[in-house]
Structure 1
């Protein structure tokens, strides 16, 4: 199976039917994606697939074929990631990568619709 991860084309042999989190974390070594609840509830495993957030514990790896995947590692220079780091926006830090991935997707959607206008608190 071939797909793009953080801007690089990757090929992964998928013989079984793993979840995307297994491929991203265990086979590609992108350990910012965490497997915690395995039920799609906590968000620690969130990745972006073609710019949309997806919980990778419930996403079959086969759905990544031919797609553009972004993990927290691919967002290191993103304004949201820089803001999280600059404001020490974490607790234990385990679920923080999922928050960054989800917030970056929101940021990009907002900018696409509203330009540089800042969102309100609500």
Structure 2
């Protein structure tokens, strides 16, 4: 995949997909670009060409991707007839404790069987 300036100058070649790229979306702050490919993956890139991560979830070619105006959700649609909504803040924050706590925080607060001292497990 190639990034071009509006005046036609090649800025960067992003290498990583193993097949054609059919969908591209820039983050609202223009600091990241996402690419969806026939190889069934989505790649997140910094504009300097550094690959941030690869998202896997589709089983067929990805046709289109979009990033929400607040930059929090990436939507992808593929030939596998699925639409996947990706939570970008959690994907880009690779700290496993933070990622896991985001999933269980409501459970820890509301489940009546949780011991009171365990309710603050993720409050660090």
TM-score between both structures, scaled by the size of structure 1: 0.30
Q: Higher relative CO (CA 8 A, sep ≥ 6), structure 1 or 2? A: 1
Answer 1 or 2: which has greater strand percent: 2
Which structure has the bigger radius of gyration? 2
Answer 1 or 2: which has greater helix percent: 1
TM-score between both structures, scaled by the size of structure 2: 0.30
